[in-house]
Chains A and B, each alone.
Chain A
Amino acid sequence: MNNPLTNVASGPDAAPEGIILVSTNRLRPRRSSFRSYFRKNYDMYLLLVPGLIYAVVFKLLPLLGISIAFVDYNMFAGSNPIQAILKSEFVGWHNFVRVFRKTEFLQALRNTFIISFMKIGCVFPLPIVFALIIHSVSAMRFKKVVQTIIYLPHFFSWVVVSGIFMSILSSTGIVNTVLQNWGLTKEPVLFFMDQKIFRWLLVFTDAWKEVGWSTIVYLAALTGVDQELYEAAVIDGARRFQQLIYITLPSILSTIILMLVLRVGSIMDAGFGQILVMYNPTVYKVADIIQTYVYRIGLGKMDFSLGTAVGLFNSVVALVLVLGTNLASRRLTGKSVW
């Protein structure tokens, strides 16, 4: 192992260019056998072991649990989950049929799409606009301060963000005080309890937390735009606005499309972490999304089979969406996530 010659002899894979001549294996067209490769590089596989144990135990083993969706799960049927699954009655697609008859589920499905599209429509364009503005500001000090401030909420948890907004929007909070002083409302507005407002509250808090942070990707793209293009444009007499339309936007278009595609690919997640913290029974009707529904049905009411079925439905749709949008991105921009 420590002999440079044997190391080199491990074949074209490991041989550094300069000393290839020493190797006799190089003359052979065949790759060295896996066994000899493994003997020389077993430590590479050792490196993988902790990660693999993690992957198998925490990510692949739960996949066996998907079968719960196809049985009428009885947790007392066996001494461990696997036995219990095997001994529970097989019911095929029954759980899925059951779930699609539930108005609560259909409501959650609708809410997932509505909230996601509201967020895409209202929140997605903002970082692009702000990145363009930040990029065009020449006062460096000012720019730095603004960036430092707007990145901050990204690092707060949803519990903290939700707590901040509950505080300023409470019936004795500053927002209600101002609204009442200006005579806009007589009674305090209960933002967290109002079915008409709550979805917009989700959109606004999502924007508050993430818009600043999302400008980074676009700012990086803007920095990458070739400055000579602008210089040439100025010589040709292009005005600021024309530069924006003909140079800046086309240059960052592929980034915009990639981000949009990624965002659309994750439509099935309308903000689980956020909604689980912020919602309450009065707004279930407008804010219950698929994952919160799974949480309440599967774990709250202990209907494991139904919860697993809804979870599986969600995972499959999400997978199809991600694969589809990634393919679209590769076609449109040549960029893809992997």
Chain B
Amino acid sequence: MAIIETRRPYHYALEALKYIVLVIFALTTLLPFVNLIAKSLSGEAAVISGRVGLWPLDPTIQTYRYVLQGHTFFSAFKVSVIITVLGGLAAVVVTAMSAYPLSRTTFRGRKGFLYMWIFIMLFNGGMVPNYMLYRYLGLMDSYWCLILPHLVSVYNMLLIKNYFETLPDSLEEAARIDGANNMRVLFQIILPISLPMLATITLFYAVAYWNDYFTARMYISSLNKRPLQLYLYDLINNALQIMNDGMNTGSVNADDLMNLTPESVRAAAITLSTIPILLLYPQLQKYFVTGIVVGSVKG
């Protein structure tokens, strides 16, 4: 913005204030996380006495060794990766397939289907009927019930539909004259040119699957089928007990436990669980911002 104006004395103060406010905001966001990491790397005495600030004291990686030692973390991690990858891909395919016919104004029954989806978005049977249905369908305690219930988010479908509507008709006309049917038009012309949008939506779904905790808490009872978020929740709330169990059953060496506190174990597990998000973050940020902006422009 090339705005020239007379510089008043308070102008510089105001300018400085803006930067200060933003720095405080950024630090407020960042410091709790930094403290968590520092704690996960600190020795027992420092953690218990509450001296750990932003830098690890008596640095140790024993907490990480402990978390990674049993196979519970890895097993939960694996479940989450599988759910996220399978769920994300399946969801985006089904969502795009549902969105395409609704984006064609000539499609007969378009209004009806659209209203059905909007109704679904706005009204639901509630927790109890869902629970009973899944139990009746035999989905309890299976990976299916972590994936299937979130297969189509109507909001995401509307985003894709709106995006398809912005594509020029001329793209498919040529193919249609060559005799391509609707499915070929979708899979060979529309989807390939929509890849950035589809990537955005895939990431929307993937993050939702990765972070989903409630579904697992409702429907998963076997310990070895727990996804990462549920494992974390249990660990955060019962770290001490879980550690004791590990010692009693001999799956964890008692000596290893001597220098550990539940707090630093929690911190280590939480830090580990965020690594995939942190690794993907540059991509996430890029695509998510696009998705949000596209969605809001359309709104």
Kindly state the separation between the CA atoms of A209 and B48 in the bound complex, as whole angstroms: 27
- Determine the residue in chain A with the shortest Cβ distance to B95: A51
B182 pairs with A177, CB closer than 8 A: no
Pick from A41, A145, A176, A314 the residue with the most CB of B within 10 Å: A41
Task: Evaluate contact between A163 and B29: CB separation under 8 angstroms.
Answer: no
B133 A81 Cβ-Cβ under 8 A: yes
Q: Is B75 an interface residue (CB 8 A)?
A: no
Assess the A172–B1 pair: CB atoms within 8 A: no
Indicate with 1 or 0, residue by residue over A122-146, a CB within 8 angstroms of chain B CB atoms.
0000000010011011100010011
The reply to whether A155 and B179 contact each other, CB–CB distance below 8 Å, is no
Do A34 and B127 form a contact, CB below 8 Å, given A45-B101, A168-B36, A304-B132? Answer: no
Query: Which B235-294 residues sit within 8 Å CB-CB of chain A?
Result: 236, 263, 266-267, 270, 273-274, 277, 281, 284-285, 288-289, 292-293
Whole-angstrom distance between the Cβ of A233 and the nearest chain B Cβ = 9
Contact A158 B213 (CB under 8 A): yes
Q: Are B125 and A14 in contact (CB under 8 A)?
A: no
User: Given A277-B233, A315-B123, A322-B122, is A157 in contact with B32 using a C-beta cutoff of 8 Å?
Assistant: no
Inter-chain contact A164/B33, CB cutoff 8 Å: yes
Q: Are B22 and A134 in contact (CB under 8 A)?
A: yes
User: Which residues of the partner chain A approach B14 to less than 8 Å between Cβ atoms?
Assistant: 240
Flag A228-259 by CB within 8 Å of B: 1 or 0 each. 00110010000110010000000000010010
Contact B232 A167 (CB under 8 A): no
Closest partner residue, chain A, to B132 (CB atom): A81
**In the complex, A178 Cα to B118 Cα: how many Å?**
50
CB–CB A220/B292 < 8 A = yes
Interface 1/0s, chain A 77-113, versus B by CB < 8 A?
0001100000000000000000000000000000000
Tell me which residues across on chain B come within 8 A of A304, comparing CB atoms.
128, 132
Complex CA–CA separation, A319 to B123 (angstroms): 6
Q: How many residues of B contact A (CB 8 A)?
A: 101
Provide the residues of chain A in CB contact with B71, threshold 8 Å. Answer: none
Chain A residues contacting B158 (CB-CB under 8 Å) are 338
Task: Tell whether B65 is near chain A: CB-to-CB under 8 Å.
Answer: no
Chain B window 51-81, contacts with chain A (Cβ cutoff 8 Å), 1 for yes, 0 for no: 1110000000000000000000000000000
The yes or no answer to B186 lying at the interface (CB within 8 A) is: yes
Q: How far apart are the CA atoms of A149 and B278 in the complex, in Å?
A: 11
A residues less than 8 Å from B116 (CB atoms): 55
Contact in complex: B125, A159 (CB < 8 Å)? no
Q: Is the C-beta of A4 less than 8 angstroms from some C-beta in chain B?
A: yes
* Stretch with Cβ within 8 A of B (4 or more), from A57-65, A194-202, A281-289: A57-65
Q: Interface on chain B toward A: helix, strand, loop, or mixed SS? A: helix
| Given A16-B173, A157-B213, A172-B50: A61 touches B229 (CB 8 Å cut-off) | no
CA distance A297 to B289 in the complex (A): 39
Q: Is A323 engaged at the interface, CB distance under 8 Å to the other chain?
A: yes
Contact present for B48 and A152 (CB under 8 Å)? no
Question: Are A3 and B232 in touch, CB under 8 angstroms?
Answer: no
A80 to chain B: which residues have CB within 8 Å? 136
Is the pair B97, A167 in contact by a Cβ cutoff of 8 Å?
no
Please, which residue of chain A has its CB at the minimum distance from the CB of B150? A58
A295–B233 CA distance with the chains assembled, in angstroms: 17
Query: Is there a chain A Cβ closer than 8 Å to B195's Cβ?
Result: no
User: Which chain A positions have C-beta within 8 A of B207?
Assistant: 155
Chain A residue nearest in CB terms to B106: A13
Write the chain B residue with the least CB distance to A8.
B177
Chain B residue numbers with a CB within 8 Å of A134 are 22
**Does B183 sit at the interface, judged by CB under 8 A?**
yes
Known: A81-B133, A159-B233, A172-B47. 7 other contacts (CB 8 A): A13-B106, A65-B130, A65-B133, A174-B35, A220-B297, A273-B214, A307-B126
Give the top 4 A-B pairs by smallest Cβ distance, nearest first: A65-B129, A311-B126, A51-B98, A62-B125
Chain B residues packing against A (C-beta within 8 Å): 1, 3-5, 11, 14, 18-19, 21-23, 25-26, 28-30, 32-33, 35-36, 39, 47-53, 94-95, 97-98, 100-101, 104, 106-108, 113, 116-118, 120, 122-133, 136-137, 148-149, 151-152, 157-158, 169, 173, 176-177, 179, 181-183, 186, 207, 210-214, 217-218, 229, 232-233, 236, 263, 266-267, 270, 273-274, 277, 281, 284-285, 288-289, 292-293, 296-297, 299
Query: What is A's interface to B at a CB cutoff of 8 Å?
Result: 1-4, 7, 13-14, 16, 19, 34, 37-38, 41, 43-48, 50-52, 54-55, 57-66, 68, 80-81, 130, 133-134, 136-138, 142, 145-146, 148-153, 155-160, 162-168, 170, 172-174, 176-177, 208, 212, 216-217, 220-221, 227, 230-231, 234, 239-240, 243, 255, 258, 272-273, 276-277, 291, 294-295, 298-299, 304, 307-308, 311-312, 314-315, 318-319, 322-323, 335, 337-338
